[in-house]
Amino acid sequence: MHVMIKKKNILIFGILILVPVTLLQVSCSSNTILTENLELTLPEQKQMLSSIKRKNDNFYVSNLKNYSPPKENQLIDEAQFRNLKLYNESARVLSDWVLRNLSQKERIQMSRNCDALVGSFKNQFPLNEQTLACAAWWLEKKNNDESAAASRAASPQSTYVRNLSSKQKQDLQNYKGMSFSEAFSQMDPPTLSQAQRLANSALDYASDCSYSGVSSALILRLESFLPNKFVYPAIEKIYTKMQKCLLPDADPSEKIHLRVGLLRLISGYPILAKDALEKTLLEKDPGESSRSLFWLGAIYQKSKPNSKENPYWQRLLKENSISLHAILASQQLGVDPINNLVPDEDISIQARDSNGWSDDNLEAFIFDLFRARNDMSAATEWSNYVGRTSSVTNPNMILYWALGHNAVRNYRYSIFMLGRYGKYIKNYPVSKTMLGLHFPKPYLKEISDYSEDVDPIFVLSLVRQESAFDPYARSGANARGLMQVLPSTAKSIKRKITSNQLYDPEMNLEVGVSYLSRLLKRYDGRVEYVLAAYNAGASNLDKWRDRVLDNNMMLFCDFMPFKETRSYVSLILRNYYWYSRIISEREDLFAKRIQQQSAKARWKSDRVAALLSFSWKSDLEVKNKSILDKIYIFGNSNSNITSNNSDPSWLNEDTKNKNKTYKNINDEIESDEKTAFSNSNKLK
């Protein structure tokens, strides 16, 4: 096949390589690339097919202790490049394409040339010295084509939704056969009297599984009327009748069992709570197993206070070793959480996963090549592109990318890849190097400068969760920058600030820390309240505080209605703990400055401070021990959750026998602790 390239096409294949104008101008004096009637012979498809396969079975398989990025000579050998001059020219063109250094005209011409050269290759790329220049173009085109095909295939499907009138919503028969989500969206009783009528009516239908959707929805809607004394028995009666319909892995089985289990624990009925919480573990892929395991372990540990063997907590430490729940469980078992980490040698990593030049292998090769050539600008830009578009599923390659993104300070996508890693390796172990990947520390100096009376490690922990250190992050709600500050919130603190100024890291930190300090003052330094208000809004938090007492803050946080807020609070407190541990291990002056600033800060978490004191001392001080032991407060004898504290009418005979709090699981005694709900029965 012959192609005639004329002089008017400024960008051409030069010695079978696409070279931008700037590069051609440099080399024109020494060769005859630019001639008016230059005739180029493109390699036949059969010849190029041999380039689809990589040279050998070297997949760069290693572990986190021994892994190091490949050198340039290794990459040249892997791709079987022989013409090094041509390879270097192609690598420069590839970098220019990725960095968008080419003009629009040059990009159009290069796209045409690449399409003619490699456009017919759909699944595997024919990598050689010539085609290297087109590698990024090919991946981008392939991704665009696949995205367009997926969009066409994902045509909206019409689904029939029954919209009930206000009158119909008061009759539960109209909800028969509705899914949970459909029923929940339509059922929202505005008054206590309507909620009571629906609850009483539900008892006639709860045992019929065709009403399980509306029964589940009603249980959650009734929570908004806590602490009224009718709510808990109403929820219990409905749940008891309909729980047989909550099949594992069917929405909302785990949600309802967990909510009822925690509600029972809050109300002083740990054995009943155990029954509900254990049902959550029947799910094939439970979404909140850490919470269920933690509270099952707390119930178990309260019955055997000196035990160092706790099956629930030991499972928790194995499945989610760095979570807040695991940190607390470790402390209660007398184990330093750092000892739950595994050696780096136990964590596998690899950069290629097949003998061909697939999407995943080519993406990694390009990234390795830029790094090996010390072209860090191109490596960072390519990291951004892969973070946005890659569909890699091999967990060892996902970890390769988490490490790679971190190496070029692309922390947002490094953290994102760790999340993807967890989807493919459930309950994955964590090593010390992985701990560093989870908890990078950019902007710490700026955070320290603006923190003043707020613990800078607390601010760092919040920034990590809010934006993953991306200063240009923007949420669907229009929150912006490192601390995800809303423009309206920013103006309440700095009147003349513009929305775009929130993308400036220092301005964002100044405003965000000021707002955080305001919340800390409002809630008297209760960090858990501050985080909940920061995420869900102060009005929602104030409603939740009216419903449940805070004598067991861990239980209060796990019972908050919004899953996002529950996760948000526990994750930031987890970050807070691990950042404190990581910084404490450093000996440099800056780390010592941060530690001193943290120790002197007015606003910080008492719970995290208590956990940290355990990490560094063999015995806990009485004050710190009392803070951490509050996880065992199940109920409050002063509450009026029911009209009869000794024998609630909603308990049947079987349930009464289970309703015990105990010192020993084989020697149960009646509990005088009934509930942790606030004393008032008045709705607010």
- The answer to whether the beta carbons of residues 57 and 351 sit under 8 Å apart is no
Q: 667 φ, ψ to 5°?
A: -140, 70
Q: Which residues contact 272 (CB under 8 A, 6 or more apart)?
A: 264, 655, 658, 659
Say which amino acid occupies 404.
G
Q: How many angstroms separate the Cα of 257 from the Cα of each of 96, 180, 279?
A: 56, 14, 7
Residue recorded with tokens 């190091």 = 68
User: Nearest CA to 216 among 190, 167, 179?
Assistant: 179
The tokens for 434 are 């992985």
> Cβ atoms within 10 A of the Cβ of 334, count?
9
Closest to 549 measured CA to CA, from 648, 673, 665: 673
CB atoms within 10 A of CB 344: 16
Closest by CA position to 528, among listed 492, 552, 497: 552
> Quick count: other Cβ atoms within 10 Å of Cβ 129?
24
Query: Are 504 and 480 within 8 A, CB to CB?
Result: no
Whether cis (ω within 30° of 0) applies to the bond prior to 233 is: no
User: What is the distance between the alpha carbons of residues 623 and 606, in angstroms, rounded to a whole number?
Assistant: 10
State the distance between the two ends of the chain, measured CA to CA, in whole angstroms: 81
Helices (H), 304-431: 311-319, 324-333, 359-372, 376-389, 395-407, 411-424
Dist. CA 322–CA 429, nearest whole Å: 9
Dist CA 524 CA 15 (whole Å): 72
**564 is annotated as an active-site residue:** no
Amino acid 349 reads: I
Rounded Cα distance, 108 and 9, in Å = 11
Q: Which of 457, 456, 510 lies closest to 483, judged by CA?
A: 510
Residue 303 contacts by C-beta under 8 Å, 6 or more apart in sequence? Answer: 662, 663, 664, 665
Q: If you ran DSSP here, which 8-state letter would residue 57 be given?
A: S
CB-based contacts of 484: which residues, under 8 Å, 6+ apart? 466, 467, 473, 475, 512
| Residues near 418 by beta carbon (within 8 Å), at least 6 away in sequence | 402, 434, 437, 438
Determine the Cα–Cα distance for residues 177 and 209; give it in Å rounded to an integer: 8
The C-alpha atoms of residue 290 and residue 320 are separated, in whole angstroms, by: 7
Residue owning tokens 């729980």: 243
**Distance between CA atoms of 137 and 319, rounded to whole angstroms?**
41
Least Cα distance to 147 among 390, 345, 405, 323 occurs for 390
Options 466, 510, 528, 673, the catalytic residue: 466
Catalytic sites, residue numbers: 466
